[in-house]
Amino acid sequence: MSKEYIDFFLMLGAVTLGMLLGGLLLFKIIWPKVESYILRLNALNQTRASTKELQRLKWNAYERMLLWTHRVEPKQVMLRKHNTSINVQQFKQLLIQDVEDEFQHNLTQQLYISDIAWQYISDLKNNTILLFKNVEEGLNETADVDHFVAAVLEHMSELQENPYLSVRNILKKELNY
């Protein structure tokens, strides 16, 4: 081989080695910035995903509480638990237990709905239980389950505003904000 070839390959090797070292140095300088950008981008994507998940949980909670307001409406509870072979006291206890069970089943939804909405839900539960207790106290001792049902339905029809519908409207309004 001639000296020109040897000089050419040595020069080529030196240039290649210089480029490799320059590329490595450039990589060491730029990589932390690229890595930081990638981490910020991943954090932003995770935030977006968790925000979407939180929004989905919130919607599900409001949906469940809307269903709850329907299920604890006196007419609905009495339809589910109607039994003429028991006395009024036992029937009232079944109704109260059903309302309490429904409430306990949805207790964790308070994490995703507003404190005000949860207060309305809690008040509605307590007022429903009070309704059943007060109606039973107003009946004579010979009253049967059907008399109890009629008394509850009469009380509900006398209300100027249906509290169950009002709470449902409040829940729906909160979702629109």
- Is 153 a domain residue? yes
Cα–Cα dist 151/136, whole Å: 9
Residues of the chain with pLDDT under 70: 1, 177
- Is 19 a domain residue? no
- The pTM score is 0.73
- Is 143 a domain residue? yes
Q: How many domains does the chain have?
A: 1
Q: Which two tokens stand for residue 41?
A: 């981008």
- Is 35 a domain residue? no
Q: Which two tokens stand for residue 168?
A: 């449902």
Q: Which two tokens stand for residue 26?
A: 């450039």
Q: What share of the chain is helix, strand, coil (3-state, %, to 5)?
A: 85, 0, 15
Task: Considering only the C-alpha atoms of the chain, give the largest distance between any 2 of them, rounded to a whole number of Å.
Answer: 125
3-state secondary structure of 83: coil
- Is 49 a domain residue? no
- Is 168 a domain residue? yes
| Domain range enclosing 171 | 56-175
- Is 60 a domain residue? yes
How far is CA 125 from each of CA 39, 133, 166, rounded to the nearest angstrom? 47, 13, 14
Provide the pLDDT for residue 74.
Answer: 97
Provide the pLDDT for residue 91.
Answer: 95
Provide the pLDDT for residue 69.
Answer: 97
Backbone dihedral region of 142: left (phi > 0), alpha (psi from -120 to 50 degrees) or beta?
alpha
- Is 29 a domain residue? no
